[in-house]
Amino acid sequence: MGNIELANGNLVISGRIDSTNAPELEAKITGILEENSFDNLEVDCAKLNYISSAGLRLILKLRKAIPGIRLINVSDEVFDIFQITGFTEMMEVQRAFKVVSIEGCEVIGQGANGKVYRIDPETIVKAYINTDSLPDIKRERELARKAFVLGVPTAISYDVVKLKEGGYGSVFELLKATSLNKLLKSGEKSMDELVEMSVGLLKVIHSCEVDAGSLPDMKQVVLEWIEFDRDYLPADQYEKLKALVQAVPETNHLLHGDYHIKNVLVQNGECLLIDMDTLCYGHPIFEFASMYNDYCGYSYLDPEVSMNFYGVSHDEVVEFWRKSLALYLGTDDAARLDDVERKAMLIGFARILRRAVRKMVSGSEEQEQTMANARKQIAGILPLVDTLEF
């Protein structure tokens, strides 16, 4: 038997819908539409076992009456029917999500918006911090595909799941993949080997060009940070900082935006990039600013942050950063490395200043110390920097 009813503002379809019960169910739908007004409507198909052509005509009637209709929790079998008949091209049809648990699973990677867990030898799941993350997941999957097409070796999600602990996750098949920080911590590979792998992948990323407007323009993002900092910096420092960023050459080269050793996995000797939701484009100095913060800036006042996040000491993380910078630039000249690092620090601490204001407890000791240090670093570096180019 099939049934259609309105429950909690959603239409719930259950059982089978075919020619034997379609007239009765159509009458129910007509009554529901006459008694209620909808701009949008979710149709919960979690208990729908089968739908025939007669049932599909009922869905078409609903769509004609409510263009914003969306079918959710559709089983694989029923989804195939909607897909074959072209309904997935006419309206949003969302598969039912499998439920998995990440409790007790090993954390093998971490980015700005989530953690990556290994749930079995062949499968990893990125669990998103935001529990209402489906739009974020969709965007990141699209970005990962875009990067993959450009030639960046990246993990591609093949499924979306619900997490038993709450929220959603993206599923990847990565057999025996290990993050660079795990390899550094275990000593399985030397730091120099890992730096070479990391910088090699970074150069592949930066060699790609994208269409303007297809991703966030990192130069514009940084200018927004500077504008936010305007109220927390002396006017002359704000003006110079803004002018330096404005003078950075426009370029459409791909940037990762959150590149560090927990976001690079190694599988069968190949590096794979994860956490793609921060993809953007622009000059590499913006990438270096993000890397500086990840390796040095966020742990500047508390070196234990490095150990807590990466599982290795602050000194090792800073050494990894400096070696990476040297290999990328192709020089061991300390003055040259210091010069480029200062440029990265300038942008990095501008971001940290904004982050302290927006995300730390207002008036707390942590916030006051972080803001004071960021302003001190900016004030000390600005007189030494006349351009952010390198």
What is the torsion angle, in degrees rounded to the nearest 10, for the CA atoms of residue 344, residue 350, residue 351 and residue 357? 160
Domains defined along the chain, listed by start:
3-95 (3.30.750.24), 100-173 (3.30.200.20), 179-384 (3.90.1200.10)
State the Cα–Cα distance between residues 349 and 377, nearest whole angstrom: 7
Which pLDDT band holds residue 250 (cuts at 50, 70, 90)?
very high
The per-residue pLDDT for range 127-161, each reduced to its tens digit, is 998 878 888 888 888 898 899 999 999 988 888 89
Return the ∠ at Cα 286 (arms to 234 and 377), rounded to 5°. Answer: 35
Which pLDDT band holds residue 38 (cuts at 50, 70, 90)?
confident
Q: Is the dihedral of CA 133, 168, 98, 165 positive or negative?
A: negative
Please check whether residue 245 is in contact with residue 222, taking contact to mean a CB–CB distance below 8 angstroms: yes
Does the pTM surpass 0.85? The reply is no
Task: Please give the full DSSP string across 207-234, using - where no structure is assigned.
Answer: H-B--TTSS-BHHHHHHHHHHHHGGGS-
- The amino acid sitting at 299 is S
State the Cα–Cα distance between residues 378 and 370, nearest whole angstrom: 12
When mean pLDDT is compared across 79-83, 118-122, 256-260, 374-378, the lowest value belongs to 118-122
When mean pLDDT is compared across 94-103, 235-244, 351-360, the lowest value belongs to 94-103
Tokens standing for 263? 């976001």
Task: Please give the full DSSP string across 264-331, using - where no structure is assigned.
Answer: EEEETTEEEE--GGG-EES-HHHHHHHHHHHHTGGGSS-THHHHHHHSS-HHHHHHHHHHHHHHHHT-
Which pLDDT band holds residue 175 (cuts at 50, 70, 90)?
low
Residue written as token pair 């409790």: 103
Residue 239 DSSP label = H
